[in-house]
Structure 1
Amino acid sequence: MLDSGLSAAQISAMTDEDDDILSRLPARLKEARRIQGLSLEAVAKLSGVSRSMVSQIERGESSPTIATLWNLTRALQVDFAGLLEAGETAQKVEVLRADQVPTIDNMGEGCRIRILSPPEEAGRHEIYELLLRPGGMLDSQPHTRGAREQLSVVSGTVMVQSGDAVERLSAGDTARYAADIPHRIAAEGDSVQAFLIVTGG
């Protein structure tokens, strides 16, 4: 018999970890299917795994082979490794400290933009904090077709212009407008703090 170099306790811990992964798998697959809004039939059609097998796996009545699991994760558009990793990652709180937030100072006049959304959301759902000095302005060219912006003012007063439409916003006000045409946000009077959400078309 070959000596594995592992103690009985280490082997037992590895077995326990594998059992733990398998016990989490049914719920994770079911949750992934729910997020995608797919029925059992749809998953079966997309994955090539029978409906009854998908149902048994989700109920924990059958342990899938690696090939079956691979087909299911591709159908559900989830990461194969992420599906199996420890549950702590799903409960992790990602923190970006104030001094780590990417900042842009060279757009507009008297305008600082802090990028709050993750890089992978660029072009789809972007969130910014806008800090305008008195008289500061952010003059924007058209974004992609169908793009829109939502501006919520925390303090100060701004003039928002989208095409020919113009509105004045004060603290607590929110405006939504087309961003696929020239648009402008300009501080009136004091400094302004606002949050800007940009969604793609």
Structure 2
Amino acid sequence: MRQFHLTSLRHIGDVSGMTDASNSILTQLPARLKEARRAQGLSLDAVAKLSGVSRSMVSQIERGESSPTIATLWNLTRALQVDFAGLLDGASEAMRIEVLRASDVPTIDNLGTGCRIRILSPPEEAGRHEVYELVIAEGGQLDSQPHARGAREHLTVIEGALEVMSGDQRQALQAGDTARYAADVPHRIAAQGDVRAFLVVQDA
């Protein structure tokens, strides 16, 4: 854990006294503290015992109803085993805009017939929440085997027309239409003309 001198804490004082430039960090603290607690699998009572901060105060801080002092934050971060400075710095990091340029988007050309798949979701979301752009030539199709039990797909047609099949069900879609369907059965997307669509795959 990064060391933070107590003399610095005394000079900083209360988080609620931060400058306007740091207000955005303050608004991120409740969610970040709650996330850290859940990541450790700790209850509010457990955090209270480990940190010496009352359960009601921990709950109020997580709900954004109370602005913690630096001393309180210090005790909470030690109990949650997270870096104090990183907790504050990380909020501004989370607000940065991550850009993936068109030329860098991973693309798959060897699945389906006449189908190009661009992977828009980050790698760490694979198997949970995946986002794709589909570009399918006229007469092309994408056949998929069943995903995990309970998985669903959300397909939105941007350009063109297609037919989507899920199990023994099928629907025709036009530009602007969205279909939501089971993906834990064999399913197919078949283009009727050139198609561009966005596909979201969600596992249960």
Fold agreement, TM-score > 0.5:
yes
Which residue matches 1:59? 67
- The TM-score with structure 1 as length reference comes to 0.74
Secondary structure (helix, strand or coil) at the match of 2:179 reads strand
Secondary structure (helix, strand or coil) at the match of 1:88 reads helix
Cα distance change, pair 83–37 in 1 and its aligned pair in 2 (3 A): closer
Secondary structure (helix, strand or coil) at the match of 1:89 reads helix
1:126-179 CA-to-partner distances (Å, cap 9, x unmatched) read 110000011111000000110000100011111100010011101011101000
Which residue matches 2:147? 143
- The TM-score with structure 2 as length reference comes to 0.73
Structure 2: how far apart are the matches of 1:105 and 1:21?
Answer: 55
Matched to 1:70, the amino acid is R
Structure 1: how far apart are the matches of 2:43 and 2:14?
Answer: 25
Cα distance change, pair 170–90 in 1 and its aligned pair in 2 (3 A): same
Cα distance change, pair 150–29 in 1 and its aligned pair in 2 (3 A): same
Mark the runs of 5 or more structure 2 residues left unpaired by the alignment: 1-7
Counterpart contact for 1:26–1:60, Cα < 8 Å: no
Counterpart contact for 2:138–2:191, Cα < 8 Å: yes
Deviation at residue 91 of structure 1 after TM alignment: 2.0
Cα distance change, pair 37–187 in 1 and its aligned pair in 2 (3 A): farther
Deviation at residue 184 of structure 1 after TM alignment: 0.2
Cα distance change, pair 83–20 in 1 and its aligned pair in 2 (3 A): farther
Structure 1: how far apart are the matches of 2:107 and 2:194?
Answer: 18
Which residue matches 2:199? 196
Matched to 1:118, the amino acid is P
Which residue matches 1:31? 31
Cα distance change, pair 20–102 in 1 and its aligned pair in 2 (3 A): farther
Structure 2: how far apart are the matches of 1:21 and 1:198?
Answer: 44
Summarize the alignment of residues 87-106 of structure 1 with structure 2, pairs less than 5 Å apart.
Answer: 87-106=91-110
Q: Matched residue pairs, number?
A: 179
Which residue matches 2:178? 174
Summarize the alignment of residues 18-167 of structure 1 with structure 2, pairs less than 5 Å apart.
Answer: 19=12, 28-33=28-33, 42-46=43-47, 48=49, 49-52=51-54, 55=57, 59-61=67-69, 63-64=71-72, 68-72=76-80, 82-85=86-89, 87-167=91-171
Deviation at residue 43 of structure 1 after TM alignment: 2.4
Structure 2: how far apart are the matches of 1:134 and 1:47?
Answer: 62
Cα distance change, pair 174–65 in 1 and its aligned pair in 2 (3 A): closer
Which residue matches 1:5? none
